[in-house]
Structure 1
Amino acid sequence: MFWRKKPAEEPQQQEIAAAASDESGMEASMPPIDQKPFMQAIWPVLACGAGLFSDGYVNNVIGSVSTTLRYEYGTVYTGSHAYGIVSAIAFAGTVVGQLVFGVLSDRWSRTGSLLVSTVILIVFTALAAGSYYHGDPVGMFNILTAWRFFVGIGIGGEYPAGSVSCAESSGELKGGTRNRWFILFTNSMIDWGFVVGAFVPYVVAAAAHNIYYGTIWRTSLGIGTVFPLILFVLRLKLKEPEEFSRNSMKNVKTPYLLVLRFYGFRLFIVSLIWFIYDFSAYAFGIYSSSILASIYGNGAPLTTVFGWNTVINLFYLPGTMLGAPVSDRLGPRYTLILGQVLQAIVGFIMAGCYAKISQPNVVAAFAVVYGIFMSLGEFGPGNNIGLLAAKTCATGIRGQYYGVAAAIGKIGAFVGVYVFPYIQAAGGSPTDTAYYQYPFYVSASLCLLAAALAFFCLPHIGQDTITLEDERFREFLESNGWDTRQLGLRKGESVDEISGVSQEEKGVSV
């Protein structure tokens, strides 16, 4: 089940597809979802997935905010408890949001969960921008940290509710393009958020002449409310994805023991790969402005540091944009493996040549090589790990499956941001080259591990995998005595009612 490679899996997929569409003209038990006109089919994909832009923006902008606070308050900030956790605390909130909304999206509503998470994101992002505590800087740092935790909860809801709905809605698009559209409206949105999250502080710092630090960080954070507000209006018109309506378990008791038997190992592998990816991606993204500041020194203007940080973050975009169609051609699994291997190679080169390219006079070369390293991460796992998580399980438990995998990934991000300084410290002091080399050695090694896990432990993912996976899960449930007529039951309905058979006719009680 879990170790199949593409050639071995395709015949089975063809058999399942044939079973779902009987050539003799008999009606299949689950007729295919009608393909809608492109514009009608694409907007739910956009509305569901694009909220992850806020994830990229809010998580990346905090790196620039932290740099600005260090410029403004010096040792008052760096010596505070908040300094070590303000960049990472949103990840803890995100984990909570992913787990809670994973359950809500399966047991309540995909669209309802999306709307609630969007409201949480808007409210607490605005509160974070207005952080204040009676003129006490340390108290303000702590308030900012608290609001960032709740911002994380809102972000967390976007993963199981938004991305899962996006994957299910993509099934109504033309075959051969579904992977790319999912990627463009999920991971590409995160990457655009990262770029904008780096660019906005640069623009604000330039407008504030590099001196009005409070204006710079508060405005940069506050702008993060604009996109969720726009998205909230779009989402008011969303309906539940048809796949969810057909195969949900929200009104029946979920057979968790059977789910674990069928998906437990696969969930472990997907979660581990996501942990490894986020461990590197978020730590490097958040600390890129600090790395650049170390190259230029603490006296460099914020616009210089933020400007190069924006250039580095721009390299996310070719990785995700060019990688999206490749995922349709090669499949998410092989594209992920290719990206991880190439990223490992560049990571080892980066570590070996760091002393030569980390000089102020060659900062452009540093930005290019560093950017390629990050771009390959988006080409591979960045684009495809969410796709794998959304399409390697059945619809009835997809929100919880995805939520658990994404939560473990965010734990990886939290751990990465937290241990990144310790990995650097293992190389000596900030004046030592090894201080900056060690993270690249660690990240490149982990890339190879993730590639091996994907190659040996995950199945091939095709264009119709969501539909086929539902069929496979139905067969497994039926073989274990679970009545699959319960899938898609509405509130108040019973199996007898949807079967058109009364209790009296069957002579049994439900």
Structure 2
Amino acid sequence: MSSAVQKRANAFASLDEAKLGWFHMRAVLVSGVGFFADAYDIFVIGLVLPMIYRYYPHMDALVKAATSWGNLVGQLGFGYLGDKLGRKKMYGVELIIMIVCTIGQCFSANAIRGFGVLTILGIWRFFLGVGIGGDYPMSAVITSEFANVRYRGMMLSAVFAMQGVGILCGGLVTLAALAAFQDQISRDYTYLDYVWRIALGCGVLPAIGAIYFRLTIPETPRYTVDVIGDAEKAESDVEKVLAMNNVRNITSNWKAPEENSAPERRVHVKKNDAGNFSDYFGQWKNFKILLGTAYCWFALDIAWYGLSLNQSVVLGLINYGGKGDPNQYEVFRHKAIGNVIIACLGTVPGYWVTVATIERIGRKPIQIVGFAVITVCLAVLAARWDTISLQETNFLIVFTIAQFFFNFGPNTTTFVYPGEVFPTRWRSTGHGISAAAGKVGAILGVQAVGPYFTTNAKIVLWTFAVIMATGVPATYFLLPETKGKTLEELSGEDEVIIEEDTYKV
């Protein structure tokens, strides 16, 4: 009986204690390229919609929120299927959806009779959102389950940090497209039609580059043994992974409770079903963690998406780049430059400071401090709105600090936490539920709160500040520190069911 469990223990010990190597880097790069494309596609819309509205009617909240509605569906659907069918079978499918829909949205046009261009664009972006949403649980879980203990948080946050690069590149590509049509736009603003289509379409390039590697990544050994129940296959897969890293297998110090208690049997873990899910999360100690990951992501995304997708609107409110410039090229150029400056000084550094410090500081302190600093920044902007909105430099300083602590804070850690705290058989589902809760917050931030930016920015900022403040106690009371612990320690999976008997590994 002990042999199968010994193989499981050896396989997991090999993964947990392996040195950082090529396979780890490949997993981070393959997952990270997807997140680069995700962020590019999500946030470039905030730059191009003002261009579209020069000659098409406004449908601002609907088009911006369409991707988040799709995210919600994709996160729940792919989260469930990642546990039901396996990580390998689903990984890459979401990227194919993204590629098709990114290309499709570039050709959105008015029908002679029927939907207008913005409705068509919104439909494409909904399905694009399904693919992007599926990327969240799949990339997080695959990275987490292949990672070693020492660098797991760093690897997960590095994957997510590619969002910052995607946001920055969205601004740079928009600037380049504007520059290419500068003379034409100055004479005829309808040439903006080329700019927004090019800016949206360039998001397909990184996704195409990553598709082969996603479709060929192996199944994670943790899923193979704990859900499928094949310890021998898992051990074989680990050996292949370690061979890519040029390291040897590590033997676990696990010992069987009784040397000759029974003949060898296959490791057996109950299959996914609603009863098991209800039993596991029906216990408060497990449900409170799901509640913590879901609520913190929900609260975060209300403000994160409410601000990030309306960044061009915010820059317009403070008259960044001048007021009433009749040259359409200069108007949109200034907005793109403002977005790039904020990304360079706040957004991108915040992500990578998290990557550099998460294994030293820990997830919990980063998330708590992040929520607290964001609360203070938004409260300052709200309280001083009447004066600071007229002080371009002062506003940008405070706003950029907030953007830094969004990413050196809960925007990154809310992604990392769900990839670590749930058991293998529910890890993808748990991450999908948590991420979907975030997208409910994003929809509220964009559709319910965001539209009031132009009429009552002070109230919007106060609303965001209060919601951010609730993330501090939610993190403190509901979430554990995961630094330095194995996935099995965090989820209680060291108890392995072998047919009718349970042993401590």
Place the TM-score, normalised by the shorter chain, in its bin. 0.7 to 0.9
Aligned to 1:507: none
Aligned to 2:493: 473
Aligned to 1:335: 366
Query: Compared with structure 1, are the counterparts of its residues 305 and 452 closer, same or farther at alpha carbon in structure 2 (3 Å cutoff)?
Result: same
Query: Compared with structure 1, are the counterparts of its residues 155 and 29 closer, same or farther at alpha carbon in structure 2 (3 Å cutoff)?
Result: closer
Does 2:280 correspond to 1:280?
no
| 1:132 Cα deviation from its structure 2 partner | 1.7
Q: Is the 8 A contact 2:84 2:272 kept in 1?
A: no
Q: Is the 8 A contact 2:66 2:122 kept in 1?
A: yes
| 1:61 Cα deviation from its structure 2 partner | 0.7
Aligned to 2:43: 60
Q: Is the 8 A contact 2:46 2:309 kept in 1?
A: yes
The code of the aligned residue for 1:179 comes to G
Aligned to 2:463: 442
Aligned to 1:491: none
CA offsets 1:428-479 (integer angstroms, 9 cap, x no match) = x74xxxx222222222222221011111121111223313135x1353x869
CA offsets 1:60-81 (integer angstroms, 9 cap, x no match) = 11111211111233xxx12xxx
Q: Report the 3-state secondary structure (helix = DSSP H, G, I; strand = E; otherwise coil) of the residue aligned with 1:372.
A: helix
Alignment of 1:48-447 (within 5 A): 48-73=31-56, 77-78=57-58, 82-134=59-111, 139-171=116-148, 175-186=149-160, 188-209=161-182, 210=185, 211=189, 212-248=191-227, 252-254=271-273, 255-262=276-283, 263-296=286-319, 297=323, 299=325, 301-314=331-344, 315-359=346-390, 362-421=391-450, 423-424=452-453, 430=455, 435-447=456-468
Q: Is the 8 A contact 1:45 1:165 kept in 2?
A: no
**Percentage of pairs with the same residue:** 24
Q: Whole-Å Cα distance in 2 between the matches of residues 129 and 137 of structure 1?
A: 19
| 1:367 Cα deviation from its structure 2 partner | 2.1
Aligned to 2:236: none
The runs of 5 or more residues in structure 2 that have no matched partner are 230-269
Q: Whole-Å Cα distance in 1 between the matches of residues 295 and 206 of structure 2?
A: 31
Q: Is the 8 A contact 1:53 1:190 kept in 2?
A: yes
Query: Compared with structure 1, are the counterparts of its residues 397 and 353 closer, same or farther at alpha carbon in structure 2 (3 Å cutoff)?
Result: same
Q: Whole-Å Cα distance in 1 between the matches of residues 207 and 175 of structure 2?
A: 21
Q: Is the 8 A contact 2:378 2:461 kept in 1?
A: yes
The runs of 5 or more residues in structure 1 that have no matched partner are 1-19, 21-25, 486-510
Q: Report the 3-state secondary structure (helix = DSSP H, G, I; strand = E; otherwise coil) of the residue aligned with 1:87.
A: helix
Aligned to 1:13: none
| 1:192 Cα deviation from its structure 2 partner | 1.7
Task: Report the number of matched residues.
Answer: 439
| 1:245 Cα deviation from its structure 2 partner | 2.0
Q: Whole-Å Cα distance in 2 between the matches of residues 200 and 386 of structure 1?
A: 27
The code of the aligned residue for 2:61 comes to G
Query: Compared with structure 1, are the counterparts of its residues 198 and 347 closer, same or farther at alpha carbon in structure 2 (3 Å cutoff)?
Result: same
Q: Whole-Å Cα distance in 2 between the matches of residues 135 and 216 of structure 1?
A: 23
| 1:161 Cα deviation from its structure 2 partner | 0.9
Q: Whole-Å Cα distance in 2 between the matches of residues 367 and 230 of structure 1?
A: 35
| 1:54 Cα deviation from its structure 2 partner | 1.9
The code of the aligned residue for 1:383 comes to T
Does 2:17 correspond to 1:33?
no
| 1:85 Cα deviation from its structure 2 partner | 0.2
Q: Which deviates more, 160-169 or 404-413?
A: 160-169
Query: Compared with structure 1, are the counterparts of its residues 345 and 112 closer, same or farther at alpha carbon in structure 2 (3 Å cutoff)?
Result: same
| 1:29 Cα deviation from its structure 2 partner | 5.9
CA RMSD of aligned residues (A): 2.6
Q: Whole-Å Cα distance in 2 between the matches of residues 131 and 28 of structure 1?
A: 54
Q: Whole-Å Cα distance in 2 between the matches of residues 350 and 316 of structure 1?
A: 18
Q: Is the 8 A contact 2:150 2:484 kept in 1?
A: yes
The code of the aligned residue for 1:233 comes to Y
Q: Report the 3-state secondary structure (helix = DSSP H, G, I; strand = E; otherwise coil) of the residue aligned with 2:493.
A: helix
| 1:364 Cα deviation from its structure 2 partner | 3.3
State TM-score, norm by structure 1. Answer: 0.80
Q: Is the 8 A contact 1:420 1:439 kept in 2?
A: yes
The code of the aligned residue for 1:239 comes to P
Aligned to 1:15: none
Query: Compared with structure 1, are the counterparts of its residues 242 and 298 closer, same or farther at alpha carbon in structure 2 (3 Å cutoff)?
Result: farther
Q: Which deviates more, 315-324 or 415-424?
A: 415-424
Q: Whole-Å Cα distance in 1 between the matches of residues 452 and 500 of structure 2?
A: 49
The code of the aligned residue for 1:139 comes to G
| 1:351 Cα deviation from its structure 2 partner | 1.9
Q: Report the 3-state secondary structure (helix = DSSP H, G, I; strand = E; otherwise coil) of the residue aligned with 1:392.
A: coil
The code of the aligned residue for 2:400 comes to G
Select 2:28's aligned residue among 45, 58, 61: 45
Q: Is the 8 A contact 1:42 1:170 kept in 2?
A: no
Q: Whole-Å Cα distance in 2 between the matches of residues 243 and 220 of structure 1?
A: 40
State TM-score, norm by structure 2. Answer: 0.81
Query: Compared with structure 1, are the counterparts of its residues 483 and 101 closer, same or farther at alpha carbon in structure 2 (3 Å cutoff)?
Result: farther
| 1:140 Cα deviation from its structure 2 partner | 1.4
The code of the aligned residue for 1:246 comes to V
